[in-house]
Amino acid sequence: MPTISRKEYASLFGPTIGDKIRLGETDLYIEIEQDLRGYGDESVYGGGKSLRDGMGANNQCSRDQGVLDLVITNVTIVDAKLGVIKADVGIKDGLISGIGKSGNPAIMSGVTPGMTVGLSTDAISGEHLILTAAGIDSHIHLISPQQAYAALSNGITTFFGGGIGPTDGTNGTTVTAGPKNMRAMLRAWEGIPVNIGLLGKGNAYSKAPLQEQIIAGAVGLKVHEDWGATPNSLRHALRTADDMDIQVSVHTDSLNEAGYVENTIAAFEGRTIHTFHTEGAGGGHAPDIIKVASQPNVLPSSTNPTLPFGINSQAELFDMIMVCHNLNPNVAVDVSFAESRVRPETIAAENILHDMGVISMFSSDSQAMGRVGENWLRLVQTAHAMKVARGKLPEDNPNNDNFRVLRYVAKITINPAITQGVSHILGSVEVGKMADLVLWEPQFFGAKPKLIIKGGMINWSLMGDPNASLPTPQPVFYRPMFGAMGKTLQDTCITFVSQAALEDGVKEKAGLERQVVAVNNCRSISKHDLIRNNATPHIDVNPETFAVKVDGVHATCQPIQTAVMNQKYFFG
């Protein structure tokens, strides 16, 4: 059998088993572990290539006979559950329908069932690209609808959060309060090309005002200190959530007015809860909210302003807090409140705990101390910074950084999906899940995606001058594509609600035309169920120095002086 060199093979079909790929300008290198295609029979689109009539493309089978709608050929998949693998990816009816070898089974051996290429199939050449599941941002202040476009431009297709626009309440808390506001926001989201799940206000001492929000369409409840994060309100929110199978998120009591972190943990009563701002610069019990990350029932996340920990982190956080939480710099108690939340020692520990898999999720806190269009970027920057600071992870192969990269990818894909009850639909590159996918050129991984696929259609992309003779001439910037237009937007996007809301007819009552899907399995999960990020070590915080110890070892690092993939990647 004729052979070609590994270098020539990579130039034609992209890397294969044993080949390494550098991610951007980082020190992170992934290595392909498995190749699901067949050598010598690769599916390749283009002039003189194999996906032609009677060759790799079947010219007899109809779509009803199993032909794909779209195939991504020879792509490198980086997925928290699958690992780092090489494969073709088939898409049909907006879902991932196959991962393996695509082509024409009439003349090709080893074609994966359900991955026939035919007249109904379009193609994306993935030979020199990386494919990930699209990101999920589980901490969104719905201050402006334009957040969606910034998020799509960094590979995020799903929001969980709350608000009704630039009110002071929304600027400070991720809450869509009450049935009327819930209905208005569900209807507003009909024209925005990302998935959405709205959080209701969880600060109540009885079930009735909580239940009416859930029936109106809330996908979860948020207990926030600006509305009073008391142990009693937490208990009522969690008990209601248990009854209605939704998630509860919490931003705890920075001032320790209603109790300390131990009182809040006791109020959880062992129930599952998603903790926002697990470090505390964004809010929460000062100085030791970070201790909740050791609890097996706590699903911990933190936000991107402190990730990675840099020399300017402390300075910018003070002003963020003053603006977001309606504080007055001329009032001494307001200044003390803000200062209590900014602690370099716990910020440094937050970075370490992410690297150890103790803090499980990565989110933005959009326009409310965080940057919605930088989640993937800061995720990769943090992974790089931690490799530089801490060296190889013990779980990693000496020859690659696969485990570390997959640990971080899990924080923005599958783990928020599990936490919010949507992992049966989103969060990983698996057959049967919605085709919310992101394609990256390796040199721009984490910084600038090439294509964003939403429900099987390209809905956001880098695109050149529409009047040019090719798609590539400048100015090239992110533009909405056909998947984000007209009725196709509604076909390819999901509005998540509770099962109670679905059964109550929220879709019909609110006049929604998007897909409306209920979340499930929000209450029976624990940190053990989170992927590659489920460590529960003992955490101590010194109340005077704020030093954090993890299983007795001081968890700290120096702030980075410069960040990779920063100014040179973003001119202007």
Least confident of 170-179, 337-346, 487-496: 337-346
- Count of beta carbons in the 10 Å neighbourhood of residue 357: 23
Least confident of 117-126, 322-331, 441-450: 322-331
Biggest CA-to-CA distance, the chain = 80
**Euclidean distance between CA atoms 184 and 512, whole angstroms:** 11
Average pLDDT over the chain reads 96
**Euclidean distance between CA atoms 80 and 426, whole angstroms:** 12
pLDDT, one tens digit per residue, over 266-276 is: 999 999 999 99
Exposure of 226 in the CB half-sphere (CA atoms within 13 A): 18
Predicted local distance difference test score (pLDDT) of residue 572? 58
Instruction: Reply yes or no on whether the pLDDT at 320 is more than 90.
Output: no
Q: What torsion do the CA atoms of 470, 472, 476, 481 make, to the nearest 10 degrees? A: 70
Predicted local distance difference test score (pLDDT) of residue 327? 81
What is the fold of 135-424+527-554?
TIM Barrel (3.20.20)
Q: How far is CA 166 from CA 169, 170, 261, in A?
A: 8, 6, 31
435 or 570: which carries more pLDDT confidence? 435
Task: Please give the positions annotated as active site.
Answer: 325
- Count of beta carbons in the 10 Å neighbourhood of residue 336: 10
Q: Are strands 361-363 and 298-303 parallel, antiparallel or unpaired?
A: parallel
Q: Angle 530-354-301 (CA atoms, 0-180°, nearest 5)? A: 60
Superfamily of structural domain 6-128: Urease, subunit C, domain 1 (2.30.40.10)
**Euclidean distance between CA atoms 278 and 280, whole angstroms:** 6
Q: How far is CA 232 from CA 175, 223, 229, 239, 249, in A?
A: 19, 11, 8, 11, 15
**In the chain, % of residues over pLDDT 90:** 90
**Euclidean distance between CA atoms 311 and 150, whole angstroms:** 25
Q: What pTM was estimated for this model as a whole? A: 0.97
The DSSP-derived string for 128-195 is: T-EEEEPEEEEEEE-S-TTHHHHHHTTTEEEEEEE-SSS-HHHHH-----HHHHHHHHHHHGGGSSSE
Predicted local distance difference test score (pLDDT) of residue 323? 79
pLDDT, one tens digit per residue, over 445-495 is: 999 999 999 999 999 999 999 999 999 898 999 999 999 999 999 999 999
Q: Between 313-324 and 344-355, two packed helices, what is the crossing angle to 10 degrees?
A: 100
pLDDT, one tens digit per residue, over 222-265 is: 999 999 999 999 999 999 999 999 999 999 999 999 999 999 99
pLDDT, one tens digit per residue, over 342-365 is: 899 999 999 999 999 999 999 999
Cis peptide before 15 (omega within 30 of 0): no
**Euclidean distance between CA atoms 347 and 308, whole angstroms:** 9
Grade residue 51 by pLDDT with cuts at 50, 70 and 90. Answer: very high
DSSP state for residue 560 in the 8-state scheme:
B
Q: Angle 323-327-333 (CA atoms, 0-180°, nearest 5)? A: 145
Q: Average pLDDT of 93-120?
A: 96
**Euclidean distance between CA atoms 294 and 540, whole angstroms:** 10
**Euclidean distance between CA atoms 221 and 257, whole angstroms:** 22
Instruction: Reply yes or no on whether the pLDDT at 535 is more than 70.
Output: yes
Contact 248, 220 (CB under 8 A): yes
Contact 505, 512 (CB under 8 A): no
Binding residues for Ni(2+): 139, 141, 222, 251, 277, 365
Question: Would you say the CATH fold of 135-424+527-554 matches that of 6-128?
Answer: no
Domain spans, the chain: 6-128, 135-424+527-554
Nearest partner of 214 among 421, 416, 497, judged by Cα: 497
Predicted local distance difference test score (pLDDT) of residue 342? 85
Contact 183, 200 (CB under 8 A): no
Grade residue 380 by pLDDT with cuts at 50, 70 and 90. Answer: very high
3-state SS of 464-497 is CCCCCCCCCCCCCEEEECHHHCHHHHHHHCEEEE
169-188 burial code (b ≥16 CB/10 A, e <16): bbbbbbbbbbbebbbebbee
Binding residues for substrate: 224
Residue spans of beta strands (DSSP E) within 11-129? 20-22, 29-31, 34-35, 70-79, 83-92, 95-100, 122-125
